């Protein structure tokens, strides 16, 4: 199955809810109605053999009305087909896909950590890269690059370290 | 030496305690392996066959308790900073530190929210090696400079 065959079948299953297109040699499925987000992913996994959930990517667009965009990179090993499923929302709350692919757990935690996306229904949404006492989400465009005030917020191992720069 | 020439029997030499202890220290600098980023690759290259740190008596130790030099090779992040300091605190005196590469000396290109702006924020540094990463020759230069510094130290009195 190639992408145009997949597009035709998806159009029948979700009429008018999706925008499928190919750009820069990549296949994209943009979800226009977020109500079908879960159902589309479940269908892609169970019906169209997209068993490998490669990555979860979040983008911050501070000047757009839909400020946050989550892109799920899915791969079908059987059909050697890769699709990027995109959903944009004005706020930072998105549905989780951890109940469909368990491997999405850490990837969604990473997006929560760095971009502040809250995945509703995620079993354990904690920071994964930054320390627990960090405040804010550094990959957002409005986060100051040289924000180092948090360095002295705690001396977590009681070593008496004071940062000055 | 003029006064004591031919006054000592064979196989006797004269020196100072400082000199002989410092000579021993500078000829067996044992660094703790502390690679944090790409500089660690260059540090390993310095220790490997071509540049061969062993010929200077330098043998990398996997524990801070047997080491007297720490080569901080790479970017120190805020999350890593207490760990670097803890390893340093576990090393017995006398101990020295070489900050290797521009990240360890000043933060380098990472003037960002997560990077410590130089390892001298958390522990005393004896030598800074610039470079991104420094060539093995540059690290060797710092080690030779450290050997010279060790020879000037006073062991019997502070």
Query: Which residues on chain B are in Cβ contact (under 8 Å) with A145?
Result: 111-113
Binned at pLDDT 50, 70 and 90, residue A1 comes out as: confident
Residue A132 at interface with chain B, using a CB cutoff of 8 Å: no
Mean pLDDT score, A13-31: 92
Closest residue in A to B106 (Cα) is A165
Fold of A3-159: Beta Polymerase; domain 2 (3.30.460)
| Range B86-109 average pLDDT | 92
3-state secondary structure of A157: coil
From CA B44, how far away is CA B51, in angstroms rounded? Answer: 10
- Percent of chain A surpassing pLDDT 90: 73
Q: Pick the residue from chain B with its C-alpha nearest to A147.
A: B113
Above 70 in pLDDT, residue B37?
yes
Task: Decide: helix, strand or coil at residue A2.
Answer: coil
The answer to whether the CB of B113 falls within 8 A of the CB of A145 is yes
Query: Is residue B10 pLDDT above 90, yes or no?
Result: no
Chain B partners within 8 Å of A156 (Cβ): 82
Residue B85, pLDDT above cutoff 90? yes
CA–CA separation, B137 and B33 (whole Å): 18
**Nearest C-alpha neighbor of B44 from the set B17, B71, B16:** B71
Asked if pLDDT for residue A73 goes beyond 70, the answer is yes
State the smallest CA–CA distance between residue B124 and chain A in angstroms: 12
Q: Residue B89 and residue A131: Cβ atoms within 8 Å?
A: no
Question: Mean pLDDT over residues A36-52, rounded?
Answer: 92
pLDDT at B139 over 80: yes
**Chain B residues whose beta carbon lies within 8 Å of the beta carbon of residue A150:** 78, 113
Domain edges within chain A? 3-159
User: Taking the model in full, what pTM does it have?
Assistant: 0.83
Helix (H/G/I), strand (E/B), else coil: A94: strand
Residue B29 has pLDDT above 80, yes or no: yes
How confident is the model over A8-29, as a mean pLDDT?
92
Cis peptide before A127 (omega within 30 of 0): no
Which chain B residues touch A157 with a CB distance below 8 Å? 82, 85-86
- Whether the predicted pLDDT of B1 surpasses 60: no
Count CA atoms within 13 Å of residue B11 on its CB side: 0
**Which of B79, B89, B117 is opposite residue A165, by nearest beta carbon?**
B117
Residue A133 has φ and ψ, to the nearest 5°, of -85, 5
Residues in chain A closer than 8 A to B78 (CB atoms): 131, 148, 150-151, 163
- Taking an 8 Å cut-off on Cβ atoms, the answer to whether B112 and A163 are in contact is no
| Measured distance between the N- and C-terminal CA atoms of chain A, rounded to whole angstroms | 56
Asked if B113 and A159 come within 8 Å (Cβ–Cβ), the reply is no
**ipTM score assigned to the predicted complex:** 0.77
Could you report the per-residue pLDDT of A103-114, keeping only the tens digit for each? Answer: 999 999 999 999
**B88-106 mean pLDDT:** 93
Say whether B113 and A138 touch across the interface (CB within 8 A): yes
Quick check: B158 pLDDT over 70? no
pLDDT band with cut points at 50, 70 and 90 for residue B2: low
A61 touches chain B (CB under 8 A): no
Q: What is the mean pLDDT of residues A73-86?
A: 93
Which residues contact residue A47 at a Cβ distance below 8 angstroms, ignoring those fewer than 6 apart? none
């Amino acid at each position: 199955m190639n992408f145009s065959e997949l597009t035709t079948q998806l159009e029948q299953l979700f009429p008018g809810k999706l925008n499928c297109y190919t750009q820069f040699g990549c296949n994209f499925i943009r979800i226009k109605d977020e109500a079908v987000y879960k159902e589309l992913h479940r269908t892609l996994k169970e019906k169209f053999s997209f068993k490998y959930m490669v990555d979860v990517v979040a983008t911050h667009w501070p000047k757009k009305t839909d400020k946050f965009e989550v892109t799920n990179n899915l791969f079908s090993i059987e059909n050697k087909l890769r699709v990027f499923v995109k959903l944009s929302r004005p706020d930072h709350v998105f549905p989780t896909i951890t109940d469909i692919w368990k491997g999405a757990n850490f990837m969604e935690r990473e997006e929560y950590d760095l971009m502040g996306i809250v995945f509703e229904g995620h079993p354990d949404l904690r920071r994964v890269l930054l320390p627990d006492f960090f405040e804010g989400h550094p990959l957002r465009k409005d986060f100051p690059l040289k924000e180092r005030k948090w360095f002295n917020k705690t001396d977590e191992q009681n070593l008496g370290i004071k940062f000055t720069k | 030496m003029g006064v004591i020439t031919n006054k000592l029997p064979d196989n006797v030499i004269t020196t100072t305690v400082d000199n002989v202890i410092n000579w021993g220290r500078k000829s067996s600098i044992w660094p703790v392996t502390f690679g944090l980023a790409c500089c660690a690759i260059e540090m390993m290259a310095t220790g490997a066959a071509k540049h061969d740190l062993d010929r200077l008596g330098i043998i990398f130790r996997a524990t801070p308790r047997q080491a007297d030099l720490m080569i901080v090779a790479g970017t120190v992040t805020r999350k890593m900073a207490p760990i670097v300091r803890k390893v340093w605190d576990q090393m017995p005196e006398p101990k020295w530190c070489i900050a290797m590469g521009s990240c360890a000396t000043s933060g380098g290109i990472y003037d960002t929210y997560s990077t410590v702006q130089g390892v001298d924020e958390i522990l005393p540094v004896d030598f800074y090696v610039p470079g991104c990463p420094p060539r093995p020759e540059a690290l060797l230069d710092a080690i030779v400079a450290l050997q010279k510094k060790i020879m000037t130290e006073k062991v019997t009195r502070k």
